[in-house]
């Protein structure tokens, strides 16, 4: 249920202390009513055109589903990829939704999306869903999905060395206040030699060994993209083997160019640690896995670069508790989200409880990682369903100990978790008065 005034706060009795028996309902109301700033997605603003994915064929060929599909079908990945996108989607639907019940997190998310648009969830094929999504007006559809998901803004993942994306940015007339940018550094920090020629072709005097004018030229490259897309943070995913400090090109570029740029722009560096890329290359985007990282690298970065701020998410369940412990030691470290393989309710519950117990409300509980627009709906429905009871339990425990709890403080805590912990950490301006409120959140 959406709140009466869009800010998540209810007007009547907000400052009265709540009877303990009402705490769960009030928390769930505020969690449901508070619009989210989704801090990490692979969505793109409409002006970037073809990069934005939407509709049933993209939903069904999401790499999470393809990974599950290859477990139960006889299709070889190479043969499957020769099919058209809609044929692939039909095969995924048949194997994961018709031949068996969709019990996994990723398959259930598809059912949530279909239901959100009143589309049948137990049909033999996707004809009706395909027709429905194909006739949607794309501009109105974006806002409709944001409204249904209770999302006011998202952060994109923008790759300044992706030739397709950089070409599209040339035609972008203006930024969209619902879509913040994030400068993604994987190609620079993990595939530098491979991308040096591209940087040189753009007029940057950089060298494969990082010497010469490389650092100043890479800084100039960052300046260009910062003024072009106004990123709210810079980001990089890092393997479970990530080590820092170390004698490596990655460490050299990180120390000499990336961290200084983040300080100059006054934005955080997002570190996404623990991914083992392409353990099964045949699966392509579905071929990545997870490994436990040595977070002493993170300890060193937070301690030795106190003027930098680090948004951090870790992929291994075994690293989650250490991340909380480090967050207690370093206020320039902000844990965020339950990433990818730990974005499963059973693990999200564990992570969220330990974060609340160790950090209070000074963390960012979730991000969607959505790649297809409509995924915002199930990912935030599940995030709210999981967070509500855990948050309510924490309030009830402190009320039980004799500290009265009010709706007003629940409302402001939820706004903190869903938005201002991030916006403050990134020094984002408060939402402008003209920021379009999601239509689904009734304006008071
Ligand atoms: O590095 C990342 O941003 C990951 O989230 C992606 O590489 C991954 O494919 C994904 O979408 C996981 O949810
Ligand atoms: Zn991602």
Residue ranges covered by each domain of the chain: 56-134, 156-336
If pLDDT is split at 50, 70 and 90, which confidence band does 433 have? Answer: very low
pTM score of the predicted model: 0.94
Which one of 39, 42, 186 would you pick to mutate in the ligand 1 pocket, going by the greatest count of ligand atoms within 8 A of its CB?
A: 42
Cβ atoms of 8 and 417 closer than 8 Å: no
Confidence at residue 11, expressed as pLDDT on a 0 to 100 scale: 42
Confidence at residue 431, expressed as pLDDT on a 0 to 100 scale: 60
Atom of ligand 1 nearest to the CA of 340: 13
Q: Tokens 């003209």 correspond to what residue?
A: 434
DSSP state for residue 19 in the 8-state scheme: P
The model's pLDDT over 350-406, given as tens digits with 9 standing for 90+, comes to: 999 999 999 999 999 999 999 999 999 999 999 999 999 999 999 999 999 999 999
Which one of 106, 235, 237 would you pick to mutate in the ligand 1 pocket, going by the greatest count of ligand atoms within 8 A of its CB?
A: 237
Query: Which tops the pLDDT comparison, 189 or 175?
Result: 189
156-336 homologous superfamily: Metal-dependent hydrolases (3.20.20.140)
**In 3-state terms, what secondary structure has residue 37?**
strand
**In 3-state terms, what secondary structure has residue 47?**
helix
Q: How far apart are CA 183 and CA 269, in angstroms?
A: 9
> CB neighbours of 300 closer than 8 A, spacing ≥ 6?
244, 245
If pLDDT is split at 50, 70 and 90, which confidence band does 429 have? Answer: confident
Nearest CA to ligand 1 atom 2: 237
6 pLDDT more than 70: no
Exposure b/e, 365-394, CB count within 10 A at least 16 = b? bbbbbbbbbbbbbbbbbbbbebbbebbbeb
Pocket of ligand 1 (CB under 6 A): 42, 157, 237, 272, 285, 340, 369, 371
How many other CB atoms are found less than 10 A from the CB of residue 199?
21
Q: Which CATH architecture has domain 56-134?
A: Orthogonal Bundle (1.10)
**In 3-state terms, what secondary structure has residue 314?**
strand
The model's pLDDT over 215-269, given as tens digits with 9 standing for 90+, comes to: 999 999 999 999 999 999 999 999 999 999 999 999 999 999 999 999 999 999 9
Q: What is the mean pLDDT of the chain?
A: 94
- Ligand in nearest proximity to the CA of 53: 1
Mean of pLDDT values over 315-324: 98
Confidence at residue 12, expressed as pLDDT on a 0 to 100 scale: 53
- CA distance between the termini of the chain: 14
């Amino acid at each position: 249920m959406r709140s009466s005034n869009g800010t998540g706060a209810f007007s009547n009795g907000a400052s009265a202390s709540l009877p303990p028996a009402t705490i769960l309902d009030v928390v769930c109301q505020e969690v449901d009513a508070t619009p989210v700033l989704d801090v990490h997605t692979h969505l793109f603003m409409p002006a970037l055109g073809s990069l934005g994915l939407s509709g049933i064929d993209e939903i069904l060929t999401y790499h999470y589903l393809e990974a599950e599909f290859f477990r139960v079908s006889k299709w070889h990945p190479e043969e499957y990829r020769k099919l058209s996108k809609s044929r692939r989607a039909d095969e995924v639907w048949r194997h994961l939704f018709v031949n068996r019940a969709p019990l996994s997190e990723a398959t259930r998310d598809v059912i949530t999306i279909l239901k959100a648009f009143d589309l049948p969830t137990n049909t033999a094929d996707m004809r009706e869903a395909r027709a429905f999504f194909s006739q949607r007006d794309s501009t109105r559809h974006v806002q409709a999905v944001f409204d249904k998901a209770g999302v006011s803004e998202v952060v994109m993942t923008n790759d300044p060395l992706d030739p397709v994306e950089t070409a599209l940015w040339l035609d972008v007339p203006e930024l969209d206040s619902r879509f913040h940018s994030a400068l993604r550094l994987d190609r620079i920090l993990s595939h530098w030699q491979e991308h040096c020629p591209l940087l040189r072709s753009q007029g940057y005097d950089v060298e494969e060994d990082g010497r010469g004018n490389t650092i100043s030229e890479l800084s100039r490259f960052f300046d260009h993209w910062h003024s072009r897309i106004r990123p709210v943070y810079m980001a990089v995913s890092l393997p479970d083997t990530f080590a820092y400090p170390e004698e490596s090109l990655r460490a050299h570029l990180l120390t000499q160019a990336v961290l200084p740029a983040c300080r100059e722009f006054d934005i955080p560096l997002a570190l996404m640690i623990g991914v083992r890329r392409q353990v099964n290359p045949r699966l392509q985007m579905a071929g990545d896995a997870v490994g436990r990282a040595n977070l002493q690298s993170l300890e060193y970065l937070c301690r030795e670069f106190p003027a930098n701020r680090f948004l951090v998410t870790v992929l291994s369940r075994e690293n989650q508790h250490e991340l909380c412990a480090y967050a207690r030691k370093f206020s320039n470290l902000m844990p965020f989200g339950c990433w990818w393989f730990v974005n499963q309710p059973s693990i999200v519950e564990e992570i969220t409880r330990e974060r609340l117990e160790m950090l209070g409300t000074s963390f960012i509980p979730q991000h969607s990682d959505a790649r297809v627009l409509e995924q915002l709906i199930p990912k935030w429905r599940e995030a709210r369903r999981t967070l509500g009871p855990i948050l309510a339990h924490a309030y009830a425990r402190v009320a039980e100990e004799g500290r009265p709890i009010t709706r007003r403080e629940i409302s402001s805590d939820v706004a903190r978790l869903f938005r201002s912990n991030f916006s403050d950490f990134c020094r984002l301006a408060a939402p402008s008065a003209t920021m379009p409120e999601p239509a689904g959140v009734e304006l008071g």
